[in-house]
Structure 1
């Protein structure tokens, strides 16, 4: 018996997620998803910073983005991607769905809309960096501070076609 090709498996995984544009009514649930994802991946954040950032996800960060795309499984949020044109500002997935294709499906959706993408990832988030590199991103630079001037170094990445 033959096994499905990698491409066929990818198509099957992608069909699992329904991707739609998020609306303001989705933002509270996405903020909760953000929190769970960050708690699972950003152990380097100071508790005060986690609280400050988390308090503004639904009210400042998500509404300020050009586009927010929501991946759903069975009508429930599985992950989301926020971007301004080709710049991915945030990509978060429910921790129990890490490695299941949600993030890749969202990136492909954004790439289909905007072409070559770019983004930043926290240098301390080795899991996310490895994910982006598997998706075809390469490091193009580094900043010692995050965009708010906090001591969380960022790696700048660009998708190579």
Structure 2
């Protein structure tokens, strides 16, 4: 079996939390340990159940990355850092586009240049900015939409 995108199942929960944690530590260098712990608790306490999650499994049926959708909005996209650069994020976005159409939106942290560059390559363009993140914390967000 090659890589396969499947819907969320409860038995993947801890592995997805682990992927999130590794990815955030790797890419969100502007966050303090306390910030990461704050968001980690949110995820542990059910944030994954509030969105539609799709994950990619490798040939060993282990999750390598996941995307969380709320309607046409990408709420989260995280790939295990040891699998970065292998097209997992791209495949997950294409999967979301197939499911939801081409009017996808996403918010990225302004300080996360890698994420902004990644989404720009797909044709996402900035349509706005917020000073605070969705938790009211001082991490500015760039609001992006996919231009088809």
Q: TM-score, normalised by structure 2?
A: 0.95
Matched, 1:150 2:143: no
CA RMSD of aligned residues (A): 1.2
Counterpart of 2:44 in structure 1 is 58
CA distance in 2, matches of 1:142, 1:117: 17
Matched, 1:135 2:117: no
1:55 deviation in Å? 1.9
CA distance in 1, matches of 2:143, 2:58: 30
- Determine which of 69, 72, 81 is the counterpart of 2:54: 69
CA contact (8 A) 1:70 1:77 kept: yes
Alignment partner of 2:120: what SS? Answer: helix
Counterpart of 2:104 in structure 1 is 117
Report the number of matched residues.
Answer: 146
CA distance in 2, matches of 1:44, 1:152: 9
CA distance in 2, matches of 1:158, 1:62: 22
Counterpart of 2:92 in structure 1 is 106
Q: TM-score, normalised by structure 1?
A: 0.87
